[in-house]
Amino acid sequence: MNQTVLNRDDVLFRNQQLLAINKPAGVPVHGSKILEDQPRTLLTMVHELEGSPVHAIHRLDRPTSGVMLLTSSRLLLRKISQAFEKRQIKKCYLAVARGWTEPRGTISHALLPPKDDRKAHSVAREAVTRFEQIANVETPYAVPPYSTSRYTLLALYPETGRRHQLRRHMKHISHHLIGDTTYGRGEHNRLFRDEFDCHRLLLHAWALEFEDPEAGHLIRVQAPLDRAFGAIIKQFGWENALDSWAGSYRL
């Protein structure tokens, strides 16, 4: 059972009807009918923290951390959900991938729904992700057939919102995300568990930018990394590169 709890420091933004939370890794947003041992959900935790129920405006996979938008207003839920569908919400994720990627690029690869959500009539839908290299590293740990292992810290900018898009797109270009037990590479995941004590998917919703449908002004929300992700940044000597990138990036 997940014992994670939220506190006031996890609240990134609030106004009368909108709330942005730094979702912890491993916490599902909603409950699941297929899990016998039901973990506490983000919606339950926010209800306990705020004292009233809220609606999730968009999705974040259970193992992903970072910015999650919620609202107490069904009208605002509909308006911002429509903005997501129209690609009016700008998003940036931080991730660690196996190998050294190109400095930047665009992945345009249509995706079927994941197998657990696929119907007989399902068709592949357009999916586009931009990526930008922030830093890389070569470690002395062997991952056969190589005598060393290489990793890249990336900024990922999804231009569409397909389920598991970032994880599947990075697999498509053979730069699987570290800690991804569904689409990733087990030998690299084991290395991070055994050598770096990292037991989470290294994917974090870093920032969201959108126009407030009620007030009309721009809202930009940014979520700090958790201890586990931050420890990898420090261990690989990526602090300066990340700080430099964060000081100049634009959504």
pLDDT in tens, 3-37: 577 889 999 999 888 999 999 999 999 876 545 55
Candidates 3.20.20.450, 3.30.2350.10, 3.40.50.150, 3.30.360.10; CATH matching 8-246: 3.30.2350.10
61 is catalytic: yes
DSSP codes, 162-215 = -TTHHHHHHHHTT-PBTT-TTTS-HHHHHHHHHHH---S--EEEEEEEEE-TTT
**Least confident segment among 101-110, 114-123, 210-219:** 114-123
The answer to whether the beta carbons of residues 96 and 177 sit under 8 Å apart is yes
Report residue 132 as tokens: 């930008």
Report residue 227 as tokens: 């201890």
From 9, 10, 61, 194, the catalytic residue: 61
Mean pLDDT of 115-142: 90
Q: Residue 1's pLDDT is what?
A: 43
Amino acid identity for residue 98 in this structure: R
Mean pLDDT of 132-153: 97
Rounded CA-CA distance 10/118 in Å is: 34
pLDDT of 241 higher than 80: yes
Mean pLDDT of 231-246: 98
